[in-house]
C-alpha cells in the first residue's frame, strides 16, 4: 500500500511542472507580442482648465477708450512656453507673453488683455466680427486651440472711432 501512495505523489510533480511551463510560455508570449506590436504606454492626460471671455465694447478703463477683449483663466493651470500665441481672424499673431498679465505658468485669475494696440499691435483691433484664438503649436505642424474669443457686438461710445 505504501508503494501505491508513492506513485501518486510522483504523478503530481510532472503535472505541476507542465502547468508552470505553460504559464511561463503564455507570459513570455504576451510580453514579446506587446513589444513586437509596438504597444505604447497611455498618453498624458489632457490638461483640465476653464476660462471666461469678456468684450468691453465701450473701452472703459483702456488707453484712449479703445474696445478690448479679456481672456481669463478661471481654473486649472497651463504651463506656457515659447510655442503659445494669440492669433486673430487674419492669422496675425503675437506670443502669449505680450498680452498675459503673468510671465510664469498661467493660473486661475490670470488674464490676457487684447485690443490690437501697443504690445499686441500686430493683431487686428478688437472690433465686431474679430475672433482671437489662444493657440499652442508644439511643433511638426501640430496646433491646438485652447480658447477662443468671438466679438459679436459693435464698439460703442468713444470706442467706436477705433473700429
pLDDT tens profile 105-119: 888 888 889 999 888
Q: How far is CA 103 from the centre of its chain?
A: 18
68 in helix, strand or coil?
strand
Complete DSSP assignment for 91-112:
S-EEEGGGTBS-SSSEETT-EE
Q: Which three cell numbers stand for residue 159?
A: 470706442
Supply the pLDDT for residue 152.
94
Boundaries of every domain in the chain: 1-41, 49-162
Q: What is the pLDDT of residues 66-102, one digit of tens each?
A: 999 998 888 888 777 778 889 999 999 998 888 887 7
What pTM value is reported for the model? 0.67
Q: Which three cell numbers stand for residue 49?
A: 482648465
Q: Which three cell numbers stand for residue 3?
A: 508503494
Q: How far apart are CA 134 and CA 144, in angstroms?
A: 9
Assigned CATH for 49-162? 2.60.40
Residues in Cβ contact with 38 at an 8 Å cutoff, skipping those fewer than 6 apart: none
**Beta bridge mates, 11:** none
Report which secondary-structure segment, H or E, holds 19.
helix 2-36
Tell me the HSE value of 29 on the side-chain side, using a 13 A CA sphere. Answer: 6
Amino acid at each position: 500500500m505504501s508503494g501505491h501512495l508513492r506513485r501518486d505523489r510522483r504523478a503530481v510533480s510532472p503535472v505541476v511542472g507542465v502547468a508552470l511551463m505553460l504559464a511561463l510560455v503564455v507570459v513570455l508570449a504576451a510580453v514579446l507580442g506587446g513589444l513586437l506590436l509596438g504597444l505604447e504606454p497611455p498618453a498624458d492626460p489632457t490638461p483640465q482648465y476653464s476660462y471666461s471671455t469678456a468684450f468691453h465694447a465701450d473701452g472703459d478703463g483702456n488707453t484712449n477708450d479703445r474696445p478690448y477683449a479679456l481672456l481669463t483663466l478661471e481654473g486649472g493651470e497651463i504651463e506656457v512656453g515659447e510655442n503659445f500665441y494669440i492669433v486673430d481672424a487674419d492669422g496675425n499673431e503675437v506670443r502669449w507673453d505680450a498680452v498675459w498679465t503673468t510671465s510664469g505658468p498661467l493660473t486661475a485669475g490670470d488674464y490676457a488683455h487684447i485690443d490690437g494696440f501697443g504690445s499686441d499691435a500686430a493683431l487686428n483691433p478688437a472690433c465686431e466680427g474679430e475672433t482671437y484664438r489662444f493657440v499652442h503649436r508644439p511643433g511638426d505642424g501640430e496646433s491646438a486651440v485652447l480658447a477662443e474669443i468671438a466679438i459679436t457686438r459693435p464698439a460703442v461710445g468713444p470706442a467706436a472711432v477705433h473700429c
